[in-house]
A and B are shown apart, each in its own frame.
Chain A
């Protein structure tokens, strides 16, 4: 390696360091830890989405047929469990709620979720769905959310999770998104650093609920970029080919250049 090579490497390394992502963790934030290659998780996520989300939220760029094909769901199961009454299996997944009514009921139509995992992130959705808490100040829904304070969305999953209460100490700071809860001692519910204490009970344990959300997030990550697995598996071969190509090109170059003095 010559100085010039070092020069480029140094310049790129410097740029890389400058741009390296900085942590911006507000203490209560947790990684989703979903695994996009986990097919059963994706299938459960699709089921969860259709059961709990699709009443209000659409996936307007995803067709039932494509979803079933990618997630290896049989035609029978697809038609029985996924496709909404009145829809064809080749249709896009659209919400059952007319946009006008939705705007009237919630003040804002529930957003399409096709790309939320890319515009926000899987972690963001995971934290959104796990940080609803009882908030008497919210007249509309009776709940609030740490990830998206003042959200118009009611706690749709309260029958599963219950409705946690914010710990008194961390209430204000956490709701303000401040970096406090991380210093709290381990809570009883779910994970350490939890800013919550149990409120009304749901049908799932905290772990089961996390897994439920994890599967749903996983599915939304798939929906945001349905070809990502195919892309990565093809990518391995492309990169291997290119490395081989480069190697041969290098030997060719060496052969030609050996008589340059």
Chain B
């Protein structure tokens, strides 16, 4: 922990006597040492925070003009984007932002899996991250239901009915969630409350805990070597650099690249070919007209594909829940000595590569109708999905113990 010069007088000294501003900056930014060998995969943490803030800010404006409820929701979205100045930009930013949030979060998770960032001493960091992911899924789902388009309606119908498969309490639970016998005014109003107040607070709290835990254990890096074990004469990690200014200036480059891509989508392809905004959602909810085929938004489709791969709905729902929860156990399923994929054998590389491909293929299958070849493929890839978690303990134990370098790999530019 760096010592802070409190300043001789003036406002800064006055402030620091009353609130540890300089101490905070020193602890969290200038005195926090991060490994110097981060690569592009390490952009996605700060980008996730950026998207979160962006969703809050755009959400504030959307909330000003949105009227929750069965009779008013859909119309109010149309009116705001057409008649309120600049809402034609802010509302799509919020909708597209949801998809980008998941792009960033999935890549952030993939990074952790590549470099073993969930392994000791970062198990809790990973678990808090997974809780953020779960809260984010609930937040995104409710946000998707709120405008009460036809896909919102039927998507909500499918997802909420999943809770009905829980033995015993299922049907009552579904009714309790909806507050009605169908998706109605009560459902939309409570989802509004949860989407705008409860879940953002929960996510903000979890993000804070995620950062606190990160500061405690320090960042992992692509080599999976602990920089705290190689200290210089000054007691600071030889292979670390202060987060500020080094990673603040670097993350700004990531922010620039990210915002460029984001702007291209928001301004030129906000529906992203029907993937970020689905065509049936440009029709109001209609309980007597089912869309041609119901599919959730792309970020839920891997799990949806797993659900539909099983003929029995109860077992399908159970597998779907298992497929999400399985991530929580990664720190203990992975029994390798080395963290990073760089210092593991070919079997580990193939296993993880196959898992990434499986995830994307399931994502694609979840958007397809559940018939013919797609069902067969969904079953094959569902098996591969779970095979990853089953094989990981054995493969990681067998080929994750090779020699690792003494220092991190870094080529000065």
Contact = CB atoms under 8 A, between A and B. Distances in A.
Nearest to A1: B40
A14 to B, nearest CB: 6
Given A8-B41, A252-B249, A253-B253, A232 B268 contact: yes
- For B89, B282, B363, the residue with the greatest tally of chain A CB atoms inside 10 Å of its CB is B282
Contact of A242 (B222, B259, B273, B412): B259
A18 B176 CA distance: 38
Interface in A113-167: 114-115, 118-121
B82 interface: yes
A257 B263 contact: no
B273 to A, nearest CB: 6
Contacts, number: 118
Give the interface residue-count category, chain A.
35 or more
Given A15-B360, A18-B364, A249-B252, A231 B41 contact: no
Question: Of B222, B250, B281, B367, which is in contact with the most chain A CB atoms at under 10 Å from its CB?
Answer: B250
A254 B253 CA distance: 10
A238 B267 CA distance: 9
A254 B412 CA distance: 11
A224 interface: yes
A232 B92 CA distance: 13
A21 B273 contact: yes
Contact of B39 (A2, A62, A258): A2
The binding surface of chain B is classed by DSSP as helix
Q: How large is the interface on B (under 10, 10 to 19, 20 to 34, 35 or more residues)?
A: 35 or more
A214 B304 CA distance: 39
B360 A258 contact: no
B58 interface: no
A115 to B, nearest CB: 4
Contact of B279 (A14, A121, A235): A121
B256 A246 contact: yes
Contact of A239 (B246, B263, B273, B413): B263
Nearest to A224: B282
Given A11-B360, A238-B263, A257 B250 contact: yes
B241 interface: yes
A226 B252 CA distance: 34
B282 A258 contact: no
A18 B263 contact: no
Contacts of A62: 82
A168 interface: no
Q: Which 4 A-B pairs have the closest CB atoms?
A: A235-B267, A246-B256, A4-B39, A119-B282
Interface of A: 2, 4-5, 7-8, 11, 14-15, 18-19, 21, 61-62, 66, 114-115, 118-121, 224, 226-227, 230-232, 234-236, 238-239, 242-243, 245-247, 249-250, 252-254, 256-258, 260-261
Given A18-B363, A19-B364, A226-B82, 20 more contacts: A4-B39, A5-B40, A8-B41, A8-B107, A19-B273, A120-B279, A226-B88, A235-B268, A236-B267, A239-B260, A239-B267, A245-B256, A246-B256, A249-B256, A252-B249, A252-B252, A253-B249, A253-B253, A257-B246, A258-B413
